Every structure is written in structure tokens, then in C-alpha cells.
Chains A and B, each alone.
Chain A
Amino acid sequence: MELIDEGTGELVGWQHPDDFREWNKTERSRAPKDKRMTATEAVEEFVDDGDVIANGGFGQVRISTPIIHEIIRQGVDDLTLYAKTGEFDTDLLMAANVISEAEVAYLGLETRGLSAVARRRIEGGELDVLAEGSNAALQWRLLAGKMGVPFMPTRVMNGTDTFEHSSAKVVEDPWTGDPITLVPSINPDTAFIHVPRADKYGNAVIDGIIVEDHQLSGAAENVIITAEEIVPSKEICQDPSSTDIPFFHVDAVVEAPYGSHPVEMSYQYYFDEEHLAEYIEATENEEDLQAYVDKYIRETEDFEEYLELIGGEEKLAELEAIETYEQDPEYPWCSD
């Protein structure tokens, strides 16, 4: 295949597919092993300084807040963020300065606006953007990683600066003769994915949109599952067509009710708009931002203490009522 063009972005998290196969053969257990542990233990065991990390869910939906908090509490440092859809999840990590490099498809807050934190960190040179990409490109990098192939052909990005600053290459497709973009596979060091239900072995079920979690769970070298509820395996096996992530892709299972707070968990609880407004206001300057991180993360013992701090059972019941349409939400950020 003739090489037509190649992006100048740094190649993040790529390895030879044989090395990933070997990792999966030697380091991933097939035993029916009870993988339950605390968020503290999971981060101690599976997140190291300098790792390439990737978040499951969709930035403001089904995120793994307990793991994000614990990474910050433990002072893990110098992480490389695979920012496929980086929103409230990655914002916290950037706020606490644990990320020093990123491959970026998206860093923002959608309807809620630009990320003041991403702007300050990147414009100030504290966070180095290694490569750009599109949502599909970053997702297909994960698909290639999951499939055990070195790249995935796609028809996105060519002709743009997004391509020029990516780690993709353009070659002549041997069948059509047309240019085709190849995105390299990626195997992040660790992924953390929040789900409604999992058993103690890591078999996990997602309700609602999957986003990239089928690809991400298969591509990562280590996968931490946080679950609203740990259920008996029998319950999972009675409906195997609903299993989204099989146990052999999973290394740790952490029970974490309300683990996606302050963002949404489909069918269970809604965005905590009050808390999000407080956070977004705090992002406006560094002093308030660090005060937020101290109060809610660094100075809390664990996620349970955080949940008490944000309003406890009463607040969580209200978020459940809004999610299930029993109560109307209020949006402080959209008032005049």
C-alpha cells in the first residue's frame, strides 16, 4: 500500500498486537475470581504514574466518579488522558492537575459551555496536547485495539488539520484505489467504566447507550468496573444477551451506588444541576477550583463521605425522581 500522507500527532498507547495478546494471555485471569475491592484498592493496584487512562461512559453520563476521586486523592501523577469525550469526568482530573498530556477528540461541557479548566491548562502550557482526533477516530482506535489488529480504516479526517495533528496515516486503498485513512489501534493502560449491574467476577450490564464501552473494555490492559449494584451471577446468566462486558475483560469490581454523581445515570438518577452549577462557578478561577477539589475530594475519606457532603439521601432521592419524570429539573445555568 502506498503511503500518501501521515499526521504529525504523537502515537499514544499503541503496541504490537502480539504484545497485547501476550499481555492478555499472561496477565488476565480466566479463573472465576472474586474481583471485588474498594475504589482505593483498585486505584492502588491498577493506576500508576504516567499511565494512559480512558474513561467509560459519555463525560456527563455514566461516569466513574469514585475512581476519578480516588486517583486525585492518591495523588497519582503525570497521566496521559485519552480524551474521547472529556467532560465533567476529565474536567475533575485536569482540575486536580493529575493529567499532563492528552490526545483530544473533545474537551468541553456541551450545552453547559466550554471547559474553563481545559482552557487554562492547555493555554497555560500545563497540559500538552499530543494529538488531535475525531470522536469516530478515537472510538475506532479502540475498536482496532479490542480486535487485536494494528489499525482500522476509516473515511474521516483526511483533508483537515485534525488529520495533520493526528497519529493517523493515509494510504491508497488496494481495492478502490482511493485514499483511505488508517487510525492506529490503542490499548490504554487502564479504563474505568461505571455500569448499573455487575457480578463479582466482572460480568457487566449497561442500561441505555453503550457509547464506546464495548470497544474500550476490550482494548484496555486493565479495566476497573464500578457498579451501582453487585448482583448474583445467576441474574446475569439468566439474560446473557444483555451482558455488555464479559468477566475476562475485567480486573476489578467496585460497588459504587450513585457512582456517576453529579452527572446522569440513565433510568436511575439525573444530573445534580445545583452541584454542577457550583462546580462550574468554581472553575472560573484557580483558587475556587482548588477549594472545590479540596472540599469534595482531597478532604473526604471516600465516595460515601462525598455523597453525604452533596446532600445525602434526600438529594439523591430528588435526582431519582427527576430522572424518572416524577419531578421537573431546574437548570441554574440556563436562567436569564
Chain B
Amino acid sequence: MSTETEADYNSVELLTTVAAKALDDESTVLVGTGMPQLAGMLAKETHAPDLTLIYEAGGIGADAPALPVTVGDERTIHEGIKAASMHDVMSYMQAGFVDYGFIGGAQIDKYGNLNSTVIGDWENPTVRLPGSGGANDIGSLAHETMIVMRQDERKFVEELDFRTTPGYLDGPGTREEHGLPRDSGPTNVITQFGVYGFDEETKEMTLEQLHPGVEESEVNENSGFEIHIGDYERSPEPTEEELRLLREELDPQGIIR
């Protein structure tokens, strides 16, 4: 991070605590491997003990003493509620039982649409990326989609090379026109600079929180489209207890960094 603070935490730790705080207690979250699952586990250890973590391959409500390295291994079901199937999980989500879903991508536009399929032309790609995986499903079906990605001008683009996953598509009303579920869509984009939301009227990306030590100007210096800046807050720094939980209990090996 391009900051001059003397904070004794790294950017993954900051992003994890910020993401954790966005998750309400007594809700469900579909997480992937990496920072989102750590955020979910941290939320459970702090303000949201009754948050249920769901993995897309079928793991529900695990309480494992170790971190999963894929979204399907035993750590996603250990002492859990159910070892289900992808059909179950996607059905729960389509029927409205998944409150939050975390995804990322290689590119994002102002409406929160994401690309994780190709850089360049689809027929002859410069870079072939993994594809949708569960991203399109989460972006289509979760009540609130939370996007986590590194921000720079190459990733925050005016036009995606490929629209893998729906955000607000082409603006207000277009999700509904395409039959996507009512009142769904991306709610937060968490980057190393801050947290963005989407304007209620225009559905365009808007600054909501600036991370400690980040200058307001960095937000648009590192974006290929304009991020609207009105009233915003400063993200809270990780507390000592949060850092202790992350370093000593949840990820002592530092798998997620």
C-alpha cells in the first residue's frame, strides 16, 4: 500500500477485517478459498457467531481446526452441518438462502460486472483465465455479492474484455430485464485502497470507505473509469484482538497472504 502509516498489519489483514465487518450475524455466506473464507471465519469469532459458511461444492457450516486449500476438501465439512452437493448449494442460493457471496476477477467495470474468462479476444485469447467457475452463479443469485480484488488501471476498466459475471449489467433496471432475481447484485467492492458501493440511482461505483493512510486521489488514479466520491468514511484499522485471531488461531501458517 502506498501509505505512510506505521501500522503493524499487512494489507491482507486489513482487507480481511474490513470484509469480516460487512457480514451480519445470523446470515449465510458463500465463500471461496483465500481471503473470503478467512473473513467469514473471523466474523464468526468476533461479532457474528451464528454466521453460516457455505462452500459451493457442498460444504456447509464447518468448524475445522485448519484452513481448506480448495472449496471441496474435508476442511469445508469438518464437524459441519451438512456435506451436501453443488446442486444443493446452487439451489439454496437460487431459492434465496444465501445472503452474501464472495467473488473476484481479473477485470471489473463501473457497474460491477466482472471478467475471469479471457484477456484479449475470446477466439484467440492473450491470456486464458479459469472461466466463470461459480462466479456467474454467485453474481446472479446471491442477495449481496461482495467483490474482492486488487485495484489498478488494468483491472478497473471502462470496458471488459469478456463479461463473465453480472454486476448491474448495463445500468439501472437491466438485471431485472434479464430475469435476474429481484434486489440482487453487487453491494461492495473491497480493494487495497478502500471499499466501494453502488449508487442507488445510477448503479455506478461509489467510494464508501477509504482505508487508513490512503489519499482520496489514489482511488481514481488507479481506475480506468471514474469512481464517484461523495461522503465516505475511513475504514477502521484491525484491532489487536482481530490480528491475534488471524495470526495465532485462524491462519497460523500464513497460508493466506
Interface of A with B (CB < 8 Å)? 57-62, 83, 85, 87, 104-108, 110-112, 114-115, 118-119, 122-123, 125, 132-137, 139-140, 143, 154-162, 165, 170, 173, 178-181, 207-215, 264, 266-267, 271, 323, 325, 328-329, 331, 334
Contacts and interface: CB of A to CB of B under 8 A. Distances in A.
Given A106-B132, A115-B130, A160-B164, A325 B65 contact: yes
B40 to A, nearest CB: 15
10 contacts: A107-B130, A111-B255, A132-B132, A134-B134, A136-B94, A140-B90, A158-B179, A159-B166, A210-B88, A215-B87
B125 A106 contact: no
Interface in B72-90: 72-74, 76-77, 83-88, 90
B131 A105 contact: yes
Given A136-B90, A155-B179, 6 more contacts: A58-B70, A108-B130, A139-B90, A157-B140, A208-B83, A266-B73
Interface of B: 32-34, 55-59, 65-66, 69-74, 76-77, 83-88, 90, 94, 113, 117, 122, 124-137, 140-141, 162-166, 169, 174-175, 177-181, 253-255, 257
B135 to A, nearest CB: 7
Contact of B136 (A61, A107, A162, A328): A162
A42 to B, nearest CB: 24
A58 B72 contact: yes
B57 to A, nearest CB: 5
Contacts of A114: 129-130
Given A118-B128, A210-B83, A334-B257, A159 B133 contact: no
Contacts of A158: 140, 166, 178-180
Given A139-B86, A154-B94, A161-B164, A119 B128 contact: yes
Nearest to B71: A110
A105 B132 contact: yes
Given A60-B72, A209-B85, A122 B125 contact: yes
A111 B34 contact: yes
A119 B127 contact: yes
Contact of B179 (A133, A139, A178): A178
Nearest to A276: B69
Nearest to B253: A331
B103 to A, nearest CB: 11
B16 to A, nearest CB: 15
A90 to B, nearest CB: 11
Contact of B133 (A135, A211, A215, A267): A135
Given A61-B70, A160-B166, A334 B254 contact: yes
Contact of A160 (B163, B253, B255, B257): B163
Nearest to B132: A134
A122 B128 contact: yes
Given A123-B125, A165-B122, A179-B179, A135 B117 contact: no
A180 B71 CA distance: 28
Contacts of A83: 131
Contact of B94 (A57, A61, A155, A329): A155
Contacts of B253: 328, 331, 334
A214 B174 contact: no
A134 B125 contact: no
Contacts of B34: 111
Contacts of A162: 117, 131-132, 136, 163-165
Contacts of B57: 58, 61, 85, 209, 211
B34 to A, nearest CB: 6
A57 B72 CA distance: 9
B54 to A, nearest CB: 11
In the complex, which of the residues A161, A165, A214 has the most CB atoms of chain B within 10 Å of its own CB atom?
Answer: A161
A186 B253 CA distance: 42
A134 B137 contact: yes
B163 A110 contact: no
Contacts of B128: 107, 118-119, 122-123
Contacts of A107: 128, 130-131
